[in-house]
Amino acid sequence: MSDKPYFEKHVFFCTNSREDGRQSCGHQGAQAAQKHCKSRIKELGLNGHGKIRINSAGCLDRCEEGPVLVVYPEGTWYTYVDNSDIDEIVDSHLAGGKVVERLKI
């Protein structure tokens, strides 16, 4: 058994949709953003064992700041508006190791 983690980075997108009318990530395009991120990671060959995993998650309890995603193992939280923000997170943080300060929460 290896001491190395199965994934170098694990990214969770909150895709929760609250049905009571309160703000939620699922009502702000989170599912489409997660799919876009997953596609970009695959395009760059950064997916798979020992690399990066992009997942959907239920409520991450930060909907008022959303939409949100979190990158582990660092525990870096981001908000985003559109695919260009997702691309910046992929290119700068996930591929390049540099946190995108303007999107960090």
How does DSSP classify residue 31?
H
User: Any idea where the domains of the chain sit in the sequence?
Assistant: 9-103
Distance CA 42, CA 45 (A): 5
Confirm or reject CATH 3.40.30.10 for domain 9-103, answering yes or no.
yes
CA dist 16 to 11, 48, 102, Å? 15, 25, 24
pLDDT at 4: 83
pLDDT in tens, the chain (105 residues): 667 889 999 999 999 998 887 789 999 999 999 999 999 999 999 999 999 999 999 999 998 898 999 999 999 999 999 999 999 999 999 999 999 999 999
At 1 the pLDDT is: 64
Separation between Cα atoms, residue 30 and residue 82, nearest integer Å: 10
Residue-level pLDDT at 79 = 97
